[in-house]
Amino acid sequence: MMFKPLHHAISVADAEASAKWYNEIFGFTTVSDTVAAHLNARKIMMELDGFQLEIFQYLGDDAKCVPEDRLNPNDDLKTYGTKHVAYQVENLRELTAELNVKGVRIVKGPVPNGNDLLTFILDNSDVLIELMEIGGNK
């Protein structure tokens, strides 16, 4: 049986602004930009090193923001469902400092996690993202 990560799907307030954010912060490039009429949503597919990011912007007037308790990784654990995506990075302390200069909201970190280091950030639509440096706490 083949089993490998394919994509991470997120809903955002502004698909174009989010695509720009993911391009500028991480280097994702846009692969397609369509409207999924049956979902009443715009869909932008992005890619980085074979991994895809699927960005949805719901086009209805009844969209919902991320609830406050989902913005903190420790509080979010209390709510069932998918928690966050994690990206493996190098030089997490340096990257976190660069993200801070770029105005990215740092929720937590860098902090030790066993032999690793982790940082949690929020994207421009309050989507929680974990960045981890494997072996960064040795």
Q: For position 96, which CATH number holds?
A: 3.10.180.10
Provide φ and ψ at 71, rounded to 5°. Answer: -85, -15
Range of the domain at 87: 68-133
pLDDT at 63: 93
Domain presence at residue 114: yes
Distance CA 54, CA 46 (A): 6
pLDDT at 111: 96
Is the domain of 88 the same as that of 117?
Answer: yes
Name the pTM for this structure: 0.90
**Strand pairing category for 41-48 and 29-36:** antiparallel
Domain presence at residue 72: yes
Domain presence at residue 138: no
Tens place of pLDDT per residue across the chain (138 aa): 878 888 999 999 999 999 999 999 999 999 999 999 999 999 999 999 999 999 999 999 999 999 999 999 999 999 998 889 999 999 999 999 999 999 999 999 999 999 999 999 999 999 999 999 999 888
Give yes or no for a contact between 92 and 117, defined as CB atoms under 8 angstroms apart: yes
Distance CA 33, CA 19 (A): 10
Is the domain of 72 the same as that of 52?
Answer: no
Is the domain of 73 the same as that of 127?
Answer: yes
Burial of 60: CB neighbours in 10 Å, binned 0-12, 13-18, 19+? exposed
**Which of 34, 58, 82 is at the close of a domain?**
58
What's the number of domains the chain is made of? 2
Is the domain of 124 the same as that of 76?
Answer: yes
pLDDT at 1: 85
Alpha carbon dihedral 99, 104, 108, 110, in 10-degree steps, equals 0
Q: Tell me the sheet residues that pair with 52.
A: 7, 47
pLDDT at 60: 95
Residue with the two structure tokens 């740092």: 106
pLDDT at 138: 80
